[in-house]
Structure 1
């Protein structure tokens, strides 16, 4: 894929626009294979910030208000397999150990990223709006905590299929974990407009039955939405 921003082909990080959404795709693997050096992490981090600066300019966000990130290894999870996302200081979230360099949670929060989509864990897990392990549900609708959430919305859609089988969950989920499903399935996203996006999780184990559904509603986007 050609990335117009970095002007590189077959890049591991790139962005593109679809309707009212600016999608950002990046490599979480850089953080786990530092035997190749830190340079790849720094280059990607700088690219991410520059891309977010451009995407969140008022004139650009007026056209494409939604900013959605996608990567492999999640910042948050409650699986019982000793993966990094179960730890309080996960590398993607907080950055490289000891120096805490190039952590992405603060960066994404700073620029008002709306939704963060992850995989790697062979399950489906939806989080409440979360930042720094604290829940920040929306306050304008008692029936929908995703109505004007005060932090990014994370979910893991890693149950599309793998010969390694489905992952187990820890017995007691942390407060930021909203829904946990252990079966094979996939997620559908329906973009309505500048304010509404529907997400639906379907179980292939159960013949396509809907096992989870939620709607993110945002009357405003950007870091001011957290206020």
Structure 2
């Protein structure tokens, strides 16, 4: 029946006219609602989301996913559909969002202001792919009469596997620049090697003033990063360079975890293997940013706390809890972030109270690993050699803001060396390896030299939160 429906759709190929304005661009994949911690469907649905943009509305767009074609086999095309042994999956079109800006003013910190004239259509598809292998092929048709764009994608296992090491890429603060191009070159080598990372954790600030030249700067960046964002699931946490128009532009462009109805990426969480991830847009708590809203603040704090309570109740399945953000709570080396602890102290308290293990952030254009922190001071830990930490008694903050931009200057206006485990300033990116329930490892890659720096290993029994928090677990277990 499914094959018959697909044949009918494909039969309509000759009914539409060729239209260059339906060429799919800025393609990226994200994890679907299947990975959400509150997913409760009996069947396996919405495992993957694929999004792209076109110049025109292109209402006949569609996407087909099928297992990766084995080398030497004839590729999948409309004219040899019946000869395929694998069953393709047709994407469910959730929406086509019109991004239309007609001279509204975009600024960064009240500077570099431009009026933006921009119109694109963002297409948003979901897929049910539980029966697929980890690697797959997908074809995007911007219009039913167009030749497809062909991509390969990676889909991680949602359930934890005791013998499986998970690996994620992590980076932020990236643009098309000399330092940024070094990182693009390094990431390209990973594609050539067919590295099967479980996803990209992007920590904010894409393209830098993406709204320049009527927002074509952002599209050029996304098109340049297509080989990576279309290959590994791309989980985007907004940065301060995205706060223009109260994040409205990026909320239209990026839809995390099927949050299309609210068009809002402020708080969302997902589980992959042994890790519970929670992404938080902390910019609504910055003084003087122009986006502070007490109602949004209250709602976000409540959502974060409820999510962390649930994550602790599920710690048997996901023993690690990671926060994704952009601006750090603790800071060394720059004058603009010396008081972030004061602005973000509610989150410092919540992360400590509910046993968060790692806070992944960016903003500073460097990679810096902090000792466990709480209330503006270091917390107890054991250290073996320089790079092995045992049972930290609070969360550890790791900055990965060195993917590469034009501003890679480092002036230590404010520096507390007792907070810092390690620090590097060259362009690069990080990889997070989850080895088992109690051991993780961070590797930092230097894009200049295409080499990895000394890894940092963290062992935790996840027990520090039990003594420090006041959760009535029995009460929550009864709900």
In the superposition, the TM-score normalised over structure 2's length comes to: 0.41
Residue among 325, 339, 347 paired with 1:87: 339
Distance in 2 (CA, whole Å) between partners of 1:164 and 1:11 is 29
Residue among 106, 112, 115 paired with 2:358: 115
Cα offset, 1:129, TM superposition: 1.3
Equivalent residue, structure 2, for 1:149:
392
Cα offset, 1:177, TM superposition: 1.8
Distance in 1 (CA, whole Å) between partners of 2:351 and 2:310 is 13
Cα offset, 1:125, TM superposition: 1.1
Equivalent residue, structure 2, for 1:22:
276
Q: Deviations over 1:97-149 (max 9, x none)?
A: xxxxxx2001110000011110111111111111122222423x544662111
Find the residue that maps to 1:175 and give its secondary structure: helix
Contact 2:269 2:278 in 1 (8 A): yes
Equivalent residue, structure 2, for 1:56:
312
Q: Deviations over 1:186-216 (max 9, x none)?
A: 10111111011100111112x1222342011
Tell me: CA distance 1:22–1:156, structure 2 relative to 1, closer, same or farther (3 Å): same
Distance in 2 (CA, whole Å) between partners of 1:35 and 1:22 is 28
Distance in 1 (CA, whole Å) between partners of 2:275 and 2:443 is 18
Contact 2:333 2:413 in 1 (8 A): yes
Q: Across the two proteins, how many residue pairs are aligned to each other?
A: 212
Contact 1:168 1:182 in 2 (8 A): no
Distance in 2 (CA, whole Å) between partners of 1:36 and 1:176 is 29
Distance in 1 (CA, whole Å) between partners of 2:460 and 2:356 is 12
Equivalent residue, structure 1, for 2:328:
74
Find the residue that maps to 1:30 and give its secondary structure: helix
Contact 1:129 1:149 in 2 (8 A): yes
Structure showing greater radius of gyration is 2
Decide which structure has greater helix share. Answer: 2
Tell me: CA distance 1:136–1:120, structure 2 relative to 1, closer, same or farther (3 Å): same
Contact 2:355 2:462 in 1 (8 A): no
Structural mapping, 1:182-201, within 5 Å: 182-201=425-444
Find the residue that maps to 2:270 and give its secondary structure: strand
CA RMSD, Structure 1 to Structure 2 (Å): 2.5
Cα offset, 1:163, TM superposition: 2.3
Tell me: CA distance 1:200–1:54, structure 2 relative to 1, closer, same or farther (3 Å): same
Tell me: CA distance 1:48–1:7, structure 2 relative to 1, closer, same or farther (3 Å): farther
Equivalent residue, structure 2, for 1:98:
none
Distance in 1 (CA, whole Å) between partners of 2:455 and 2:304 is 30
Residue among 199, 211, 215 paired with 2:457: 215
Contact 1:159 1:166 in 2 (8 A): no
Equivalent residue, structure 2, for 1:106:
349
Find the residue that maps to 1:61 and give its secondary structure: coil
Q: Deviations over 1:139-186 (max 9, x none)?
A: 3x5446621111111111000011223433347534212222111111
